[in-house]
Amino acid sequence: MMITPVKTKTKVIARLQQQQAQLGLFGSFVRDEAGPASDVDLLADFEPGRKTYRAICAVGYLLEEALGRPWRF
């Protein structure tokens, strides 16, 4: 099932609130300047000792599915 890509700050925040993670949104979506090719800039806060490559990838794929946009780090 393909999820519709987010297009506004409100949509990004609504989808992120459905996730069980501490994430900060910054960049063009915060400034309401995002366009069709804009990426979603996020800061993920991991608990001490939990920031592993596997955990980063898991969060990335989860966000890609939730936001309908590809991820990279």
pLDDT of residue 21: 63
Q: Which residues contact 41 (CB under 8 A, 6 or more apart)?
A: 25, 26, 27, 28, 29, 30
Position 64 scores a pLDDT of 86
- Each residue's pLDDT tens digit in the chain (73 positions)? 566 788 888 888 777 776 556 888 999 999 999 998 888 998 888 878 878 888 888 888 888 888 888 888 7
Identify the pLDDT of residue 2: 62
pLDDT value at residue 69: 86
| pLDDT on residue 60 | 86
Residue spans of the domains in the chain: they are 9-67
φ/ψ (deg, to 5) at 44 = -100, 130
